[in-house]
Amino acid sequence: ETGVTQSPTHLIKTRGQQVTLRCSSQSGHNTVSWYQQALGQGPQFIFQYYREEENGRGNFPPRFSGLQFPNYSSELNVNALELDDSALYLCALSGGGDYEQYFGPGTRLTVT
Amino acid sequence: AQSVTQLDSQVPVFEEAPVELRCNYSSSVSVYLFWYVQYPNQGLQLLLKYLSGSTLVKGINGFEAEFNKSQTSFHLRKPSVHISDTAEYFCAVKDTGFQKLVFGTGTRLLVSP
Cα A79 from Cα A95, distance rounded (Å): 29
Chain A hits for B94, CB-CB cut-off 8 Å, are 99
Q: Are A36 and A96 in contact (CB under 8 A)?
A: no
Nearest Cβ partner of A45 from B41, B46, B101? B101
Q: Which of A99, A109, A110 to probe the B interface (max B CBs under 10 A)? A: A99
Q: Which of B51, B99, B107 to probe the A interface (max A CBs under 10 A)? A: B99
Task: Return the minimum-mean-pLDDT range out of A26-35, B16-25, B44-53, B86-95.
Answer: A26-35
From its phi and psi, is residue A95 left (phi > 0), alpha (psi between -120 and 50) or beta?
A: left
Evaluated on CA atoms B57, B86, B73, B1, the torsion sign reads: negative
Query: What is the nearest CA distance from B79 to chain A, expressed in angstroms?
Result: 25
pLDDT at B31: 83
**Angle subtended at Cα B10 by Cα A41 and Cα B59, rounded to the nearest 5 degrees:** 85
Which is more confidently placed, B86 or B96? B86
Judge: A94–B32 Cβ closer than 8 Å, yes or no: no
Percent of chain B with pLDDT over 90: 75
Nearest Cβ partner of A48 from B92, B100, B103? B100
Kindly indicate the confidence band of residue A30, based on its pLDDT and cuts at 50, 70 and 90. confident
Residue type, B67: F
Cα B92 from Cα B74, distance rounded (Å): 10
**Beta bridge partners of residue A6, listed in sequence order:** A23
Question: Does residue A99 have a pLDDT over 80?
Answer: no
Mean pLDDT of A83-105: 88
Q: Give the DSSP letter of residue B97.
A: T
For A82, the enclosing helix (H) or strand (E) is none
pLDDT at A25: 83
- B62: CB partners within 8 A, 6+ apart: B78, B79, B80
Question: Does residue A73 have a pLDDT over 60?
Answer: yes
Query: What is the nearest CA distance from B43 to chain A, expressed in angstroms?
Result: 4
Query: What is the nearest CA distance from A94 to chain B, expressed in angstroms?
Result: 8
Q: Are B13 and B19 in contact (CB under 8 A)?
A: yes
